[in-house]
Amino acid sequence: MYSVIIQANIPPAPEDVATAIVADVQNQNVQMEAALIRLGFSLLAAREFTGNDINNLNRLRTLTEDMLDRLIKQIHRDNQGAGLFIPFASQQHVHAIRF
């Protein structure tokens, strides 16, 4: 006698969805930090960007030129004691990528 296995379309448990979302955000953060480091940012400066929810190019593109300048100034101001510095060329690269 043959038996048939029927699989129901059971949605994933909420914990699984939440875990997947957190993993996706962490992956985006890592990728964005790596991209910023390639542009000359320090790891601390790159983490400041992702900590301010700039974790992908779409988020970066939502910023106006003035908003991006203010974010960079805020990062400089908030981390003076840590010796954080974002080179001018790196700032220009981020502005160019925004387009």
Q: 6-24: per-residue pLDDT in tens?
A: 666 766 666 777 888 888 8
| Rama region for 24: left / alpha / beta (φ>0; ψ in -120 to 50; rest) | alpha
- Kindly give the residue spans of alpha helices, DSSP state H, lying in the chain: 14-38, 43-51, 57-61, 65-78, 88-98
Which two structure tokens, joined as six digits, stand for 83?
């010796």
Reported pTM: 0.75
Alpha-carbon separation of residue 11 from 7, 25, 40 (angstroms)? 12, 21, 43
Q: Which amino acid is at 79?
A: N
Distance CA 41, CA 90 (A): 7
Distance CA 36, CA 21 (A): 22
Cβ–Cβ under 8 Å, residues 90 and 41 = yes
pLDDT for 35-84, tens place per residue? 999 999 989 999 999 999 999 989 999 999 999 999 999 988 887 777 78
